[in-house]
Amino acid sequence: MFCPKCGALLMPKPGKKQLECSCGYKQSAEGIKLREKAKEAEKVEVVGGEENTNIIVEAECPKCGPVEAEHWEIQTRSSDEPPTRFYKCKKCGHTWREYS
């Protein structure tokens, strides 16, 4: 139902058989079937920890030298530009990026 004064949605007032608008308009809810409580959403259980899905490659870490590093790409610039390649050193944790 909508407010005849301002056109906003009339909301039920908890514990009362009354609909109210934010502008102050009130209307009786007699004859209108109100549902007091919505169904509670099911809980989602997370099993296990966070898994790394990045590729492991041989790379040149600016701090450690040649090491294994995680590799991923993200489109950081416009779509006609190549993506930015990110690396994270498995030895020291340093993260760096390369542009083409």
Residue from 30, 36, 51, 80 carrying the catalytic annotation? 80
Tell me the β-bridge partners of 59: 67
Q: Out of 60, 68, 81, 98, which one is annotated catalytic? A: 81
80 in active site: yes
Catalytic positions are: 80-81
